[in-house]
Structure 1
Amino acid sequence: MNSAIPDSIVRHDGQPAHGRYAGRIARFDWTGLAERRSWLWRRLHHKRWHYVGLGDERVFIGLAIVDVGWTCTAFAYLFDRQRRHLLADWSQDGLPGLQAQVSDAPLAEARACFRGPGARLELRHQSDDSLLLHVRTRTLRIEAQLDLEAMAPPLLAVGPIEGGIAHATQKTTALAVLGWAEAEGRRFDLDGAWAAVDASNGLLARNTAWRWASAHRPDVGFNLQQGYFGNQENVLWLDGRPIALGAAHFDFDAARPLDPWHVRTDDGLLDLVFTPEGARAEDRNLLVAASHYIQPIGSFAGTVRAAPGAPLREVRDLLGVTEDHRSKW
C-alpha cells in the first residue's frame, strides 16, 4: 500500500493516478483527464455517493446518498439485531442538484445531503474533524457524530473502469460514534458503536455489477469488492494498519442470500465465513434504469493475516455486511 497520497486523482499527464494509497485526499476531481467525452456522456456516467454503515451488538444502521447524474436516490435503514428485524427501511428518489448534493470532498469538507417529502438526510464535516450525521424520515431519526481525528489511515483507491473511464473511492475503517437513533418508538444509544464511511466518485459504465463485503472494529476491519473495480479497493486493517489484499472471491447462493457466505482473497490473507442475521433488499425496474440489490447484515468469523506466512489471527463476531448488486444506471 502506497503511503504517498497523490495531490490529485488525475496526474499532470492527464492520466488517472491508478493505485492504492493509505491516507486522505482533499477531493475527487476528474477535470484534468486526457480522455475526453461529451458533456452529455459525463453527465450520464458520473456517479458519486456517500455511504455510512454503523452498529453495535444491538443494531446496524446503513444509509447512502447517491447522485447518478440524471437522477438521485437515498436510503436509510435500522436493523434490530436482537429481533432480527428491520425497524425502519426508507428510500426515496429525487432530482440531482435540487434534492440531493454529494460533494467531491470525501472526508474533510465533505457534505452530502438529500431533501424530499417528509425526509432530510445530511452528512457534513465539522471543524473538530468529525462527521455530523443527521437523519429525519417518517420512520427513522438519527443524530450522530463520527470521529475522523483518531481514525486509522483510510484507503484511497483509483483505478480504470471497463466501459467507463475511471473510479476513485475513499474508505475508512472503524470510526468512534457518539449519538442516538430512534425507530418504532424505541431509542438506541449509539455511544460506543463503530462506523465506516465509503465516499466514491467515478465515470462508470452504464451496466455495473459487484459483490461487496465490509466490516470494522478497532482491532480488525476490511473492505472487499468483486466486480467492476477489480481488486483495487480490497484492504485489511489490522490494529489500524492498512494492508492491500488480492482478488476477492464470494461463494454464496444468490437464490438463498441468508445462508452463510464464504469470502476469501487469493493471497491467503483473509478467509472468513459470514453468517447473515437479516437483510435489506430492493428491486427496481424503471425501463431506462434498473437495479437488483440485497445487503445482508450479520457477523464474520475466520482468520486473517498480515502477510503470506505471518501468524493467523482468529476473527470472531465481527459485525458487517455483504452485498450483491447489479445496476443499469
Structure 2
Amino acid sequence: MTLPAAPRSIVGPDGQVALGRFCGLAEGIDWRALAPPYRRSAWWRRFHHKRWHYVALACEDVFCAVAIVDLGWTSTAFAYVFERRARQLIASFAQNGLPGLSARLADHGAGASRFRFLASQIDIGPDALTLRCAGFEVDALFHGGAPHLLAVGTVAGGSVHATQKSAGMALTGEARVGGRRIALHGGVASVDYSNGLLARETDWRWACAHSRTLGFNLQAGYFGANENALWLGGALIPLGAARFAFDAADPMAPWRIHTDCGLLNLQFTPEGLRRDDKNLLIAASKYVQPIGTFSGWVKADAKGPAIAVEALLGVTEEHRSRW
C-alpha cells in the first residue's frame, strides 16, 4: 500500500482536517483554524493542547533519549544515556519548566524546539540535537533516511491529533558524561514529533526501533493504529493494530508484540529502563521506558517472505497520564 503525499497544511482553509496516514512532512499544524466538529474554545485548547519532540540515538554501546514536552499549562523535559554493557543509566536529566517560559515547541516536525531552565538547555531541530546539563552534554547531527510518516486522526475525549515519525537516520556526534567522551558516529537517530488536542486521561503502549534499513513505530492506546508503520529498504509501509503482551508489574520481563495485519511479530528483551512517576495533584503520570533489543520477523506484504529482525536496539513504553 502506497501512502499519499503529506498535505502542506493539516487543517485546510475551510477548517477541515486531513485525516489519515501520509508520506512526508506537513509544513503546518494550527488547531486554532479548526471548524466543527473538531473546533474547541481557546480556553479548552489551553489545557488540552499537548506537544512533544523526542529524539532517540541508538549506538552499539549506548542508547540516548531526549524529549521536550509542552503540556499547555506547563512544560517538562528529560534526557538520559543508557550504557548497554553496564546495563544502567550513566546520565539522567529531568526538569519541569516555568509555564510559558521554559519550552518553545515547534509547530510541525520540520521545525525547532527548545527548553531552558537555569543553566540547562536543550535544542532539537530537524537534523540536530544539542543538550547542555550539569555533567551531561550531547552534540548530535543526523540526516538521510526513508520518508517520514505523518498520521492524523481523532482522539476519544479530545479532538484531533497529528504525529510525525522519522525512519532511521545516519548519526554523528558525541555525548559527554562527566569527563568521558562517547562517540555516536555510526549510530542511528530517529525523531518523534507529536501535536494534538488530547483527552484529560491518556494512555498508551509504544515500541520503536530503527536501523538504517529497517525500523518500526507501534502504538496501542489513545491513537489506535494510526501511527503504526514499518520502514523497510526505503519503503514506508502502514501496519494494522498492535498487540502488546507484557507484565506491567515486571517490565524487565520479555515483551511480545505483533500486528493484526500479520506483517510484524517480535519479542523485546529489556536491558534496562527509565521510570518516572509523578503526582502533582492536578496532574499525574506513570511512565516506564525499557531499553533493549527486538528479534523476530517482519514482512513487506502478506504474501511476501518473512524478514528476520535480530537484536535491533530500541525501546518500549507504557505511559498513563492525567494532564
TM-score (norm 2): 0.97
Residue among 67, 91, 95 paired with 1:92: 95
Question: Structure 1: how far apart are the matches of 2:236 and 2:179?
Answer: 39
Output the amino acid matched with 2:121.
Answer: R
In 1, are the aligned partners of 2:242 and 2:260 still within 8 Å (CA)?
Answer: yes
Shift of 1:8: 1.5
| Counterparts of 2:175 and 2:55, CA distance in 1 | 14
Render the CA deviation track for 1:86-129: whole Å, top value 9, x for unaligned: 0011100012431110010312xx1111111331111134xxxx
Match of 1:116 in 2: 117
1:128-181: per-residue Cα shift (whole Å, max 9, x none)? Answer: xxx22110111310011111xx22111000000001110001100101111000
Which sections of structure 1, spanning at least 5 residues, go unmatched?
Answer: 126-130
Asked whether the equivalents of residues 18 and 152 of structure 2 are also in contact (C-alpha less than 8 Å), the reply is: yes
Could you tell which deviates more after superposition, 91-100 or 226-235?
Answer: 91-100
Q: How many percent identity over aligned positions?
A: 53
C-alpha distance in 2 between matches for 1:96 and 1:309: 52
Q: How far apart in 2 are the matches of 1:26 and 1:277? A: 37
Match of 2:281 in 1: 287
- Segments of structure 2 that go 5 or more residues without pairing to the other structure are none
Q: CA deviation at 1:23?
A: 1.1
Aligned to 1:26: 27
Equivalent-residue separation in structure 2 for 1:327 and 1:15 (angstroms): 28
Q: Higher mean Cα deviation, 300-309 or 116-125?
A: 116-125
User: Which residue of 1 is the match for residue 8 of structure 2?
Assistant: 7
Q: Say whether residues 1:76 and 2:79 are aligned partners.
A: yes
Deviation for aligned residue 1:241 = 0.5
Aligned to 1:327: 321
Offset of residue 31 of structure 1: 2.5
Following TM superposition, where does structure 1 have runs of at least 4 consecutive aligned residues deviating by more than 6 angstroms?
none
Question: Which structure 2 residues correspond to residues 215-254 of structure 1 after superposition, within 5 A?
Answer: 215-254=209-248
Give the whole-Å Cα distance in 2 for the aligned partners of 1:22 and 1:212: 21
Q: Deviations over 1:273-301 (max 9, x none)?
A: 00000000000000000000000000000
Task: Tell me if the contact between 1:79 and 1:88 (Cα under 8 Å) persists in the aligned partners.
Answer: yes
Number of matched residues? 320
Contact 1:259–1:276 (Cα < 8 Å) also in 2? yes
Secondary structure of residue in 1 paired with 2:46 = helix
Q: Find 1:153's aligned residue among 144, 147, 150.
A: 147
Deviation, structure 1 residue 217: 0.7
CA distance in 2, matches of 1:96, 1:158: 27
Supply the distance in 2 between the matched residues of 1:19 and 1:12 (Cα, whole angstroms): 18
Q: How big is the shift at 1:12?
A: 4.2
Report the counterpart of residue 310 of structure 1 in structure 2: 304
Please tell me whether the aligned partners of residues 272 and 302 of structure 1 are also in contact (alpha carbons under 8 angstroms): yes
- The match for 1:128 is none
Q: TM-score of the superposition, structure 1-length normalised?
A: 0.95
Helix, strand or coil for the counterpart of 1:31? helix
Q: Give the 3-state SS of the residue equivalent to 1:209 in structure 2.
A: strand
2:258 aligned partner: 264
TM-superposition CA deviations, 1:228-261 (whole Å, max 9, x none): 0000000001111010000000000000000000
Q: In the aligned structure 1, how far is the partner of 2:28 from the partner of 2:52? A: 13
Letter in 1 for 2:74: T
Asked if 2 retains the 8 angstrom alpha-carbon contact of 1:54 and 1:60, the reply is yes
Amino acid at match of 1:134: T
**Native 8 Å contact 2:203 2:320 kept in 1:** yes
Q: 2:74 touches 2:100 (CA, 8 Å); kept in 1?
A: no
Moved more, 220-229 or 88-97: 88-97
Residue identity in the other structure for 2:117: G
Equivalent of residue 137 in structure 2, options 120, 125, 141:
141
Separation in structure 2 between the aligned mates of residue 323 and residue 293 of structure 1, nearest angstrom: 7
1:210 corresponds to 2:211: no
Which residue pairs with 1:62 in the alignment?
Answer: 65
What amino acid does structure 2 have at the position aligned with 1:295?
Q
CA distance in 1, matches of 2:202, 2:209: 23
State whether residues 220 and 237 of structure 1, in contact with CA within 8 Å, keep that contact through their aligned partners in structure 2.
Answer: yes
- One-letter code of the match for 1:71? T
1:300 aligns with 2:294: yes
Q: In structure 2, what is the Cα distance between the partners aligned to 1:224 and 1:144?
A: 25
Q: Is the 8 A contact 2:8 2:28 kept in 1?
A: no
* Pairing 1:39–2:33 present: no
Deviation of 1:37 after TM superposition, in Å, equals 1.9
Aligned to 2:51: 48
Whether 2:128 is the aligned partner of 1:132: answer yes
Q: Which amino acid aligns with 1:63?
A: V
CA contact (8 A) 1:28 1:106 kept: no
Question: Counterpart of 2:33 in 1: which secondary structure?
Answer: coil
In structure 1, distance between residues paired with 2:25 and 2:40? 28
Which of 316-325 and 131-140 deviates more? 131-140
Question: Partners of 1:11 and 1:18 in 2: how far apart?
Answer: 11
